[in-house]
Chain A
Amino acid sequence: MIALLRNISYRAAYVWRRNLDVNLVTWQTNFLPPILEPLLYIVAFGFMLGRYVERIAWAGIELDFLTFVAPGMISVAILYHSTFECMYGSFVRMYYQKTFDAIIATPLLIEDVIAGEILWAASKSFFAASIMLVIVSFFGLVEYPSGLVIVLLAFVGGVMFGSFGMIFAAICPSIDTMNLPVFLAVTPMFLFSGTFFPVEGLPAWGRAIAAVSPLTHVVAVARAASLGVLSTAFLPSALYIVAVGAGLFLLAVHLMKRRLVK
């Protein structure tokens, strides 16, 4: 594990930069969803579904549904952008485009490449969450300055979810088999992590599962930040994100190296 870390250098930034360059060419298609998505959510949840939902109690606070759900949908964006970037984007670059093969013939090592890919994925979450934060702020759904924590959360959470996605890119034999982890892990996480309703409403076994779901902790911190009620009560969630993120990162680099270095 120490050897893996030692093999990661500043050169990972060249991989990050390569991905940024590609995205700058196609930026319209990359930045439009984070701008439009929250608007769709606000219409659907706030103005339509919100009419049928009574006020929601969360962490002792009474909220209207839209205020409750806004940090949830930003958290989902953090999950999706980094997970899918590493799951599918990295897999395509590794398997079909042979981009990694080309890069490791230069002074970069495979550890640099994987680290650069995960940092890029985290940056995608960061960009998406930042844009969404600006949009929902126009509707007065975020308290400041604590709301700015979400920007940092997006990157750190993005490292965790990017690593999570990279693990599947490393172990899935083909791109089709990735439907399985999406169905078994990503979708349940999306639905049952306190994104659209409080986890307290779940039965005991559901709460136990939600407690280990990484997204639950991202949602908790994001919601506390957007409501301006951050306190030490959310420290365990923050620590969870850092610790699990670091663990998944190392595992992702290890598994990817095992797949690629024969």
Chain B
Amino acid sequence: MEPILTAANLTKRYGDLTAVAGIDFDIAPGECFGLLGPNGAGKTSTAKMIYAAVPVTGGCLCVFGRDITRHAREIKKLIGVCPQDVNLDQDFSVLKNLIVYARYFGIGAAEARRKAEELIEFFQLGDKRDRKIESLSGGMKKRLLVVRALVNDPRLLILDEPTAGLDPQARHQIWEKVRQLKKNGTTIVLTTHYMEEAAVLCDRLAIMDRGRIVERGRPADLVARHIGRDVIEIEDPSPAALEEIEAAGARHETFAGRTYVYTEDGRELIARIAREGQAGHVVLRQAGLEDVFLKLTGRQLRE
């Protein structure tokens, strides 16, 4: 199938700062594609280039088979954007926000109202319908941003950190809606630094760091390839426990007094460590995307 989006050597520079340093990726129809990375990795710059909010500095970005630089209007007509910052129209109610936004897409008044009412129904916002934006909670505003991105029935939906700062209830509700959209065949680009979110929603993802894609693939494949099945975390491991880990040939690293052991069979290894009389705190858990992320982008703080 023809990809919905193709990026080739895509580059974004702001003056001397290179935010995106020549990345390549493509997105198939119906796919949920994740862009992961620490702060300043270039995720949002990449997302913004897709909806032409910032111009492409170099390389090529084609959406729906058209160059974004020359066909911004036509492409934006078919895209829905949920931005990172809440930029709802404070001067209007929830319903009016959707109607006015639909108008920007050239949707007529009657159709805009019908669509707005339908979305309010679908997202169970009925009781908030006539509320002013400033009276909504943070989670509600974020949800409304997702709703607003759907007024034009987009073929491609861009979700730029849609659940940042939300409580678990609100986050799960957004996930549920995104899954429903996926089921309906909407192609999605999702930027996030919540690994759980990426693992739950994304079919494929790219991990970015310092403007480059450092790894890509299906979430489960990435975990299997980089980490294995299990992780054992040990606080202040005894020399005997460490010897046991070395003997097992398991990859491990220590960070702030805590040792992380990556292995295919954690159950067996943890039994051996226990026999060596390891006193401190020992945890066995399943390997996840977060382990991959930290392995590839390091544990140092960004920004």
Contact = CB atoms under 8 A, between A and B. Distances in A.
Whether chains A and B associate is yes
Which of A17, A103, A106, A262 is most buried by chain B, counting CB atoms within 10 A of its CB? A106
A200 interface: no
B58 to A, nearest CB: 15
A98 interface: yes
A151 B101 CA distance: 31
Interface stretch (A18-26, A77-85, A118-126, A216-224): A18-26
A203 interface: no
A97 to B, nearest CB: 5
Nearest to A92: B90
Given A98-B85, A102-B88, A102-B89, 7 more contacts: A97-B90, A97-B91, A102-B101, A103-B104, A105-B53, A106-B101, A261-B54
B123 interface: no
A141 interface: no
B119 interface: no
B6 to A, nearest CB: 21
Interface string A89-132: 00000000111011111111100000000000000000000000
B103 A261 contact: no
Interface in B65-113: 72-74, 76-77, 79, 81, 83, 85-92, 96, 100-101, 103-106
Interface of A: 9, 11, 14, 17-18, 21-22, 25, 97-99, 101-109, 261-262
Interface of B: 14, 51-55, 72-74, 76-77, 79, 81, 83, 85-92, 96, 100-101, 103-106, 152
B87 A108 contact: no
Contacts of B90: 97
B87 A21 contact: no
A22 B92 CA distance: 7
A107 B103 CA distance: 10
Nearest to A21: B100
Which of A11, A103, A262 is most buried by chain B, counting CB atoms within 10 A of its CB? A262
A99 B89 CA distance: 6
A236 to B, nearest CB: 40
Contacts of B55: 261
A99 B103 contact: no
B96 to A, nearest CB: 7
Given A105-B51, A105-B53, A107-B76, A22 B91 contact: yes
B104 A11 contact: yes
